[in-house]
Structure formats: C-alpha cells, structure tokens
Chains A and B, each alone.
Chain A
Amino acid sequence: MTSPRALDIAGLQQELARVGYIADASLAAALLLMRDLARPLLLEGDAGVGKTEVAKALAEINRTRLIRLQCYEGLDAHSAMYEWNYQRQLLAIKLLEHDERSGAKDLAQREQDIFSERYLLKRPLLEAISGERPPVLLIDEIDRADAAFEAYLLELLSDFQITIPELGTVRATSRPLVVITSNGTRELSDALRRRCLYQYIDYPDYEKELAIVRKKAPEAEAKLAQQIVAFVQAVRRMELQKKPGVAETLDWTAALLRLEISTIDIDGAERIMDTLSALIKTRDDRVAFPREVVARLAAAS
C-alpha cells in the first residue's frame, strides 16, 4: 500500500535526480513540507556533504532563480538588504542645482525623487521578496554571521516585509523558498531553530555516493566508480582532521580520469599518491597517507 504522499516523495526524488541531486526520502519529505507549511529549511551537517547543492537543485526543479546570501563575520543586516546608489544620487543633486528654473516649491518633490526606487540597489534579501516569481533564497553558512543578524533575519522571515526609512515599507510580492545552511561553528538561537524545518545531512553511504558519482561523472566506468567510492568511504572511516566531502570525491574522480587511471589497485598506488591532493586537504592528514596505506586502501577497493 502506497500513500499518495509517498508517491509525491518518490516523484520529488526523481525530479531532483534529474537535475543531478541524489536526495534521501527524508529530505524530499522535508522539502514537500516546506512548501506546505511555508517554513524555511535549516540544513546542518559537516562541510562538503552537499548542503548548498540542495538549494541549487530546488531552484532548478522549480525553474526559478536562486538568490544566494553568503554570510560572513560582520555582515550587517543593512548590506544584506539594500543600499542607496550614492553616486547617482549625488549626480542628480548636482544636476538639479544647475537647473535654475526649478524653484524652491518642488523641493519636497525633488527629495522624493532622490530617494525613489530608481536609486535603490537591491541586495539579496530585498531582491528575494520583491520579484514576481518566488525564488529560492539560500542563506549560506548563517553560523558565520553574528546573533544580531540572525535576529533581523528572523523578523524578515516572519513578516516578509522590509522597512526602508526613506522609502517606506516594502511588502513581499512573492514568498521565497528559504534554505538556510549552517556548519555548526556557532550555536544558533532557539528562536531561529523553532521557525525552521530541520534536516541533518550526513556523509552519503556507499550506495548513495556511488549514485552521485555515476550521475555527476558519467564518463567514469562502473568499475572505477565503485572503486573510487569504496576508497573514499574507507578514507572517511580513518581519523582525519578534515574528512573528504562529496565535492572532494568528484574532484578526485576528475583527477583520476584526467591522468587516465582506469582502475584503482595496488600496482597503481604510486600514481594514486599523485592525485591525493584532490582528496586530502591538510598537512596533518597528508602525513597519515604514506605509500603503504594508500596501497592497502587501493587493494581493498
């Protein structure tokens, strides 16, 4: 017995796969719920598990724009929303000054002109709510921004309006699908967590990662893809400072293909060593991969 919802979930998974994203059923279920309840989706997980990709795929299957706000330390709410185009405003003022005929009467009119939408530069948050079609708004690595910004964002996400002192309140003409990612470097506020649907994304298991490699790097032969994934999965089980993410797996696959390495085995260990920089990104971790270890992993793959 399959419920209609289960069919929806399977359908969404297929659609995501079509645009190149392999999603768990639980993620697909969350995406559907996000649409039903009009809530943002908070994605957590280690760097490199494909959190950002979710938003990209979501935009693609909805055939809508992806608006991305990359958070960073010191990002203030203002620069994430809008800015006045000062240069143009100044130019307008200077032009008006030389315009002798305009009397003092329409001073107010002139001022209004200068603070009109013509001189407004939209930044991601304003852009996301003022389009005609609802876009996907990706707020990337929110843990990098500070708590004040988070509070501001929360307000935007509940009211969907932005107040510009000189211009008034801009109401959302469309409600974006909001995807928020966090790498967990800072504890997010409970209020934000409560607003959002939640999804923890883990490193993919063997089957899923194989599907991803087959999808993204179809030129790798089935046998090689299996070996690559087995190798990477074994590497992740090791004690490393920085475990390779899915992007690293794909980079490494590309590197192997480029060097025309068609199989991973003990004899090729030397050549594999040369490509490891695509997979292992810190010096300490690199030390953990002498030739013997690589050979052993290669033999087991």
Chain B
Amino acid sequence: MGAGPAMRAAERLARFPGFLRANGFGIAGGDAVQALRAAERTGVLDRDVLRWSLKALLCHRGDEWQRFDELFDAWFLPANRWQRPERRESADGSQSDAHPGGSREGDKADDEDLRPRRAASREEVLSSADFSALAEREHALEIEALMRRLARQLKRIRLRREMRAHRGRRLDLPGTIRRSVASGGTPFHLLWRNQRSERPRLVLLIDVSRSMVLYSFFYLRLARALASELGDVHSFIFHTRVTEVSQALHDADPWRAQERLHLIAQGWAGGTRIGESLAQFNREHAPRVVHGRTAVLVLSDGYDTGEPRQLSDALAQLRRRARRLVWINPLSNRPGYAPTCQGMQAAMPHLDLLAPGGDLASLRAVLPNLIETLH
C-alpha cells in the first residue's frame, strides 16, 4: 500500500466522466478536472459521499439522474467488472450508408442557394409521392431537405406573426420618460411597448407501430426538422407505450440521433395501443408540455388494438388542455378512404381536424394553417 492504489483510484476517477459520456451523458471536456477537484474535497474512500457528490456534479438532467447510480456502481464497485458500452465507430456510419458521402450531399441539398435549378420539377414529383413509396435512401435525403425547407417556411410565418403582434399600440411609459430625460423632461420621442405573447408550441405524438413503419421514418425526420427550426417542439413516439424523444432528436449528429431512437424503440411488444399510450401521455407528460397555446399533432393510421373507449377518453382529456388537437393520418388521402376503423371512429368527435399526411404536399397544406391559428 502506498501511492499505488491511490494513483489507481485517481486515474479511475478521472476516466469516469468519459465512461459516462460513452453512455450518453452530456459531459464536457472540463468535467474530469472538476470531478478530481470535487473528490479532493470529499475524499474517495466513502463510496456514498463520492456518489452523491459526483452525481450532483456530472448529471445535468433528469434521465441522467435516474441512470447514474447504476453506472457509478458498474464503474467503481470492484465486484462488478464494468462493461464497455457499445461504441459507435465512425466507420460504422459510413458503412451502413449505401451511397458513399450520401449524408454530405444531403446537407448540401439542404442549402437552398446551392440547389440546382432543375430541382423544382423533381421537388414536385417528390412532394406528391406517397412516403411509403419512397424506400430509397436517396429519396429519403431529399425529402429530409424538403422538410427542412417546410420547417423554415413555418418559422417565417411565425416570425411574421410575432412581428405583427408586436405592433400593438401600448405606450412604454418608463422608456418614454427615460428618453425624455435627455430633452429636459419633455417627451419628444414616444416609445411603444412590444406586446409579448406566449409562444406557440407543437407537440408531436408519432405512432411507430409496425403498420406505420413506412411513414414514421419520415415523421421522425419532420419532427427533427421542426425542432431545429421552430424551437419549441416536443416529440414523442408510441405504440404500446409513449416515450419522449425530443432529446434524442436534438442530437446534433444525425447518426447518433437515429441510433438513440432505435434504442428507445427497441424491445417494445407488438400491437398498437393508441388509447393506452395517449392516456400515459396525459398522465406523465401533458401537465408539463401541453399549455393553452399548444397544438397537439397525433401522427397515426388509427389502427388501434386497444379499447376505443379509452382512446376517446384520452383524446377528450387532451382536447381540454390543448389549443388544437389535430390527427394526421397518412392513409386518409388515398382514394375512397373513410375513417371507418374503430380507432378513428372513436377519435373523430374530439379532433379539431383530421388531415391527410401521406406525402409532403399534404403536410404542406396543413402545417402553415395550423401555425397561423396558434398565434
């Protein structure tokens, strides 16, 4: 016993933040130093003291808080050998990409100025193509770029709306007086107060059950695009239960985002229980994320294997909380579609709008109006 074990302890401690990062924690570069500094104060021999201190230091959000103890034990308890988390190799991403450099091209297409002129006609074709027919990766990337564009259009609508709202005629008295100090108390310049209004919020509930698999892929991309452009967007996925994916979608690295989503959706039982999922949403998330200026969008085909009664109750409750409740059904622009399945029958009375969403053109028809009405 001498410097040996102590050294090892310090090293182990210094590498702990890296271990957390590998497990999806938002760890910054300086955290290892901070952890050592904290340990200097607390000592490392008392496991619990070290645990509590590092927990406060290295967790930054609720889900990290819930997972911390397990990871701490895995790292520090000698009985358990820690397991290296599956690392996402950089080669991995490009391997699964059938077209080399595909994502880079996608980024480029995203930039409107760099788009080739002929894109317009191609865009029309893509806009009206049903998502389920777009199995090719190339299409997916282009669609993603178009969704970005749609999101930016929505952002412009919102900004315009907000500016208009700001042009209210309310005198800003403190400001006017402050200005008038310069002119000896005579108010030459009148200042008007901006009327701040509560920002509208979008909540997306995306059905990722098997029957939706061809569409949910695109809807998740839509959610990602909306979140990055509009800001106040909360996204959830469900089939038998509901999970928030805002964080995962927020990931700057699109491959990691996809991987995280994949992990979240894994291991769920089959079947779609929309009613149950929405009830769970009402219970666990709605009080927090749904306020009086929220539009809730359910993106689902309405094939529900649960009780219609439960679906109808859950929607009624959601309707009371939200400003708008919209159901986007990818099937409903097919010729001859009528909302006859049990799920849709139960849902209809509670919706503000049932809109088709099978292709980009129909999303384009719905979303701008929705944003307009929220202000």
Residue positions of A touching B, CB distance < 8 A: 1-6, 9, 25-26, 28-30, 32-34, 36-37, 41-42, 44, 73-74, 83-84, 86-87, 89-90, 93-94, 97, 114, 146-147, 183-187, 190, 193-194, 196-200, 239-242, 284
- Looking at the complex, which one of A4, A41, A44, A196 makes contact with B43 (CB distance below 8 Å)? A4
Is A190's CB under 8 angstroms from B185's CB? no
B128: Cβ under 8 A from any A Cβ = no
In the complex, how many angstroms separate the beta carbon of A65 from the nearest chain B beta carbon?
A: 24
Q: Give the B interface residue count (CB, 8 A).
A: 49
Closest 8 CB pairs of A and B: A29-B52, A30-B56, A193-B60, A74-B196, A200-B65, A3-B46, A26-B52, A86-B177
Q: When the two chains form their complex, are residues B289 and A185 in contact, meaning their CB atoms are under 8 A apart?
A: yes
Measured between beta carbons, the chain A residues less than 8 angstroms from B45 are: 1, 3
How far, in Å, is A141 (CB) from chain B's closest CB? 12
Instruction: State the CA gap A86–B45 with chains docked (Å).
Output: 59
Q: Is the CB of B232 within 8 A of A29?
A: no
A284→B64 CA distance, assembly (Å): 32
Nearest B residue to A36, CB-CB: B41
**Dominant secondary structure at the B interface:** helix
Q: In the complex, given contacts A241-B286, A284-B317, what are 17 additional A-B residue pairs having Cβ atoms less than 8 angstroms apart?
A: A25-B52, A29-B52, A32-B41, A32-B42, A33-B53, A41-B56, A73-B196, A83-B174, A90-B180, A90-B185, A146-B199, A194-B28, A196-B60, A198-B57, A198-B60, A198-B64, A200-B62
Q: Which residues of B contact A239 (CB under 8 A)?
A: 279, 283
Q: Which residues of B contact A284 (CB under 8 A)?
A: 317
Among A42, A83, A184, A187: residue with most chain B CB under 10 A: A187
Binding site for A on B (CB under 8 A): 26, 28, 34, 37-38, 41-43, 45-46, 48-49, 51-53, 55-57, 59-62, 64-66, 174, 177-178, 180-181, 184-185, 196, 198-199, 231-232, 246-247, 250, 279, 282-283, 286-289, 291, 317
* 8 Å CB contact of A114 from B37, B51, B174, B181: B181
Q: How far is the CB of B18 from chain A (nearest CB, A)?
A: 16
Query: Contacting A183 at CB < 8 Å: which of B51, B55, B56, B288?
Result: B288
B198→A198 contact, CB < 8 A: no
For this complex, 23 residue pairs linking A to B, each with C-beta atoms less than 8 Å apart, are A1-B45, A1-B46, A9-B52, A29-B42, A29-B53, A30-B52, A32-B41, A32-B53, A34-B56, A36-B41, A37-B38, A73-B198, A74-B196, A86-B181, A93-B181, A147-B231, A185-B289, A193-B61, A196-B60, A197-B56, A198-B55, A199-B56, A239-B279
When C-beta atoms are compared, the residue in chain B nearest to A31 turns out to be B56
Tell me the minimal C-beta distance from A285 to chain B in angstroms. Answer: 11
- When the two chains form their complex, are residues A198 and B61 in contact, meaning their CB atoms are under 8 A apart? yes
> Is the Cβ of B62 less than 8 Å from the Cβ of A184?
yes
Known contacts A73-B198, A197-B57, A199-B56; A90/B177 CB under 8 A: yes
CA distance A196 to B291 in the complex (A): 27
